[in-house]
Amino acid sequence: MADKTRKDAAEALAGRLFDGMTIMAGGFGLCGIPEHLIAAIRDSAVKDLTVISNNCGVDDFGLGLLLGAGQIRRMISSYVGENKLFAELYLSGKLELEFNPQGTLAERIRAGGAGIPAFFTRTGVGTLVAEGKEIRNFDGEDYVMERALSADLSIVKAWKGDAEGNLIYRKTARNFNPMMATAGKVCVAEVEQLVAIGDLDRDNIHTPGIYVDSIVQGAAFEKRIEQRTTRPVAGKAAV
Amino acid sequence: MAWNRDDMAARAALELRDGFYVNLGIGIPTLVANHIPAGMSVTLQSENGMLGMGPFPFEGEEDADLINAGKQTITELPASSYFSSADSFAMIRGGHIDLSILGAMQVAANGDLANWMVPGKMVKGMGGAMDLVAGVKRVVVVMEHSEKSGAPKLVKACSLPLTGQKVVDLVVTELGVFEVNRGRTPVRLTALAPDVTLDEVRARTEAEFEVAL
* DSSP track, A82-110: T-HHHHHHHHTTSSEEEE--HHHHHHHHH
Maximal C-alpha separation, chain A: 55
Is pLDDT at A239 greater than 60 in this prediction?
Answer: no
Q: Do A227 and B67 touch (CB under 8 A)?
A: yes
Average pLDDT over residues A123-136: 98
Model confidence at B87, pLDDT cuts 50, 70, 90, reads very high
Q: Do A172 and B125 touch (CB under 8 A)?
A: no
**Do B115 and B123 meet the contact criterion of CB atoms below 8 Å apart?**
no
B40 touching chain A per CB within 8 A: no
Which residue among B30, B49, B62 sits closest to A175, beta carbon to beta carbon?
A: B49
A107 touching chain B per CB within 8 A: yes
Question: Which SS3 state, helix, strand or coil, does residue B24 take?
Answer: strand
**Do B203 and B146 meet the contact criterion of CB atoms below 8 Å apart?**
no
Q: Do B55 and A238 touch (CB under 8 A)?
A: yes
A77 touching chain B per CB within 8 A: yes
Q: Do B85 and A238 touch (CB under 8 A)?
A: no
Q: C-alpha dihedral over B191, B192, B197, B202, to 10 degrees? A: -60
Catalytic residue at B47? yes
Model confidence at A196, pLDDT cuts 50, 70, 90, reads very high
Question: Which SS3 state, helix, strand or coil, does residue B40 take?
Answer: coil
Query: Tens of pLDDT along B14-49?
Result: 999 999 999 999 989 999 999 999 999 999 999 999
| Chain A environment of B73 (Cβ under 8 Å) | 225, 227-230
| Chain A environment of B123 (Cβ under 8 Å) | 99
Task: Please report, rounded to a whole number, the percentage of residues in chain A having pLDDT higher than 90.
Answer: 90
Q: Do B89 and A106 touch (CB under 8 A)?
A: yes
Task: Please report, rounded to a whole number, the percentage of residues in chain B having pLDDT higher than 70.
Answer: 100
Task: Please report, rounded to a whole number, the percentage of residues in chain B having pLDDT higher than 90.
Answer: 96
Q: Do B54 and A237 touch (CB under 8 A)?
A: yes
Which positions 169-188 of B are in contact with A (Cβ < 8 Å)? none
pTM over 0.90: yes
Query: Tens of pLDDT along A175-188?
Result: 999 999 999 999 99
Domain boundaries, chain B: 5-211
Q: Give the pLDDT score at A87.
A: 84
Is pLDDT at B122 greater than 80 in this prediction?
Answer: no
Query: Tens of pLDDT along B96-105?
Result: 999 999 999 9
Maximal C-alpha separation, chain B: 52
Q: Give the pLDDT score at B194.
A: 96
Indicate the range of A9-23, A114-128, B113-127 predicted with least confidence. Answer: B113-127
Which residues fall within 8 angstroms of residue B202, CB to CB, at 6 or more apart?
none
Q: Do A239 and B82 touch (CB under 8 A)?
A: no
- The amino acid occupying position A130 is A
Which residue among A123, A223, A231 sits closest to B58, beta carbon to beta carbon?
A: A231
Query: Tens of pLDDT along A19-71?
Result: 999 999 999 999 999 999 999 999 999 999 999 999 999 989 999 999 999 99
Q: Give the pLDDT score at A88.
A: 86
Q: Which fold has domain B5-211?
A: Glutaconate Coenzyme A-transferase (3.40.1080)
| Chain B environment of A178 (Cβ under 8 Å) | 84, 86
Min distance B191 CA to chain A CA atoms (Å): 27
Q: Give the pLDDT score at B70.
A: 93
Which residue among B58, B92, B125 sits closest to A103, beta carbon to beta carbon?
A: B92
Query: Tens of pLDDT along A67-113?
Result: 999 999 999 999 997 788 888 888 888 999 999 999 999 999 999 99
Model confidence at A234, pLDDT cuts 50, 70, 90, reads low
A84 touching chain B per CB within 8 A: no
Is pLDDT at B181 greater than 70 in this prediction?
Answer: yes
Min distance B27 CA to chain A CA atoms (Å): 11
